[in-house]
Amino acid sequence: MKFHYSKKEDALHLRFNDAVIAESDEVREGIILDYDGRGKLVGLEVLDVAKRFPREFASAVAKQKLPFQFKVAA
């Protein structure tokens, strides 16, 4: 798996393999799933990371300090 965070775009891109993306589906505003030609999920893009993730996670991604663990309050 590969990940790339673009600070300029505030976007996180996750790729699960190197397959060619044949189709993308925005399942929710700013959440995009990428599929290969057989309909298999091959990627995920999250826009506006700073708004969507806990501050600690967004900070770690921006600094590319992964893996990162944080507690989610119940």
| DSSP 8-state class, residue 21 | P
Work out the burial of residue 42: count CB atoms within 10 Å of its CB; fewer than 13 is exposed, 13-18 middle, 19 or more buried: buried
Domain ranges of the chain: 2-62
Q: What residues pair up with 23 in beta bridges, in sequence order?
A: 35
**Segments in the chain forming alpha helices (H):** 49-52, 55-62
pTM exceeds 0.85 for this model: no
Task: Kindly give the confidence (pLDDT) of every residue in the chain, 74 residues in length, as a single tens digit, with 9 standing for 90 and above.
Answer: 888 888 888 888 889 899 999 999 999 999 999 999 999 999 999 999 888 887 777 677 667 665 554 444 44
